[in-house]
Amino acid sequence: MAKKTKNTSGRGERDLKIKVKSARGRKLSSTLWLQRQLNDPYVRRAQDDGYRGRAAYKILELNEKFNFLTAGARVVDLGCAPGGWCQVAVPRVNSLGTKSGKVGKIVGVDLQVMESISGCDLYQLDFMDEGADDKVKEWLGGKADVVMSDMAASSSGHKQTDHLKIMALCEAAAYFAFDVLEDGGTFIAKTLAGGAEGDLQKLLKQKFTKVADVKPPASRANSSEKFVVATGFRG
């Protein structure tokens, strides 16, 4: 009998749902969040696979589709905490040099100090600070092949406001990518559906040969989250 292959989608798992009893002092929203976490197959899988969060599977699935994390690639992860995307990148770009062939480099930056990740250089940095692009290129040892961002602005609770805030953050990340990407490079960023995505698409299409909007299976179905993947940077 053929051995079953392990998929990354999390679909098809039929474990019984766990219900969380409301606790005194806990808000309903907190109870619902906890229940969602306990019943999320990606949360359980991240724990089993040693990833720092379920978001690791989003970049893993995007990479399966677009294949931008390749051996020898130089990668920048903006807003990299808690580090799941960096963890996914390490074996794929061969940043530890454990495989024969090209050895990649990963630089992760975030506003907060992070626990180290083997195979990644992590820095506390605001990528919007003046000179941040030059610092990142120095740390990388050259220009980047990939700039990726899973950043989200702090939630205000107002859907349209949150949409505009994250789109402004995406645009800032895109301009940063323009400054650090090598010709032919790739830019990946989280967005939220809400009407302002067209401006970002227009901007990216001026600089990249292909621009796609993707919702990977690991992105929750009831979330307006999606990802823009721009390939073939034209400098």
CB 235 within 8 A of CB 80: no
Asked if residue 25 has pLDDT above 80, the reply is no
> Is residue 35 located within the same domain as residue 123?
no
Clarify whether 21 is annotated catalytic.
no
Per annotation, catalytic residue among 143, 190, 205, 207: 190
| Both tokens assigned to 19 | 């219900």
Q: What is the DSSP string of 97-137?
A: --SSS---EEEEEESS-----TT-EEEE--TTSTTHHHHHH
What's the average model confidence in pLDDT over 162-171?
Answer: 89
**pLDDT above 90 coverage of the chain, percent:** 66
For residues 41 and 133, state if they share a domain. Answer: no
Q: Answer with the residue of higher pLDDT: 150 or 33.
A: 150
Is residue 2, in this structure, part of any structural domain at all? no
Q: Which residues contact 161 (CB under 8 A, 6 or more apart)?
A: none
- Residue 40: give the domain boundaries: 22-51
Backbone angles phi, psi at 15, to 5 degrees: -70, 150
137 shares a domain with 34: no
Q: With bands split at pLDDT 50, 70 and 90, how would you rate the model's confidence at 5?
A: very low
18: pLDDT strictly greater than 50:
no
Residue 9 in any domain: the answer is: no
Count of the separate structural domains present in the chain? 2
Co-location of 120 and 32 in the same domain: no
Q: What CATH number is given to the structural domain containing 169?
A: 3.40.50.150
Per-residue pLDDT averaged across 144-166, rounded?
84
> The pTM is what?
0.83
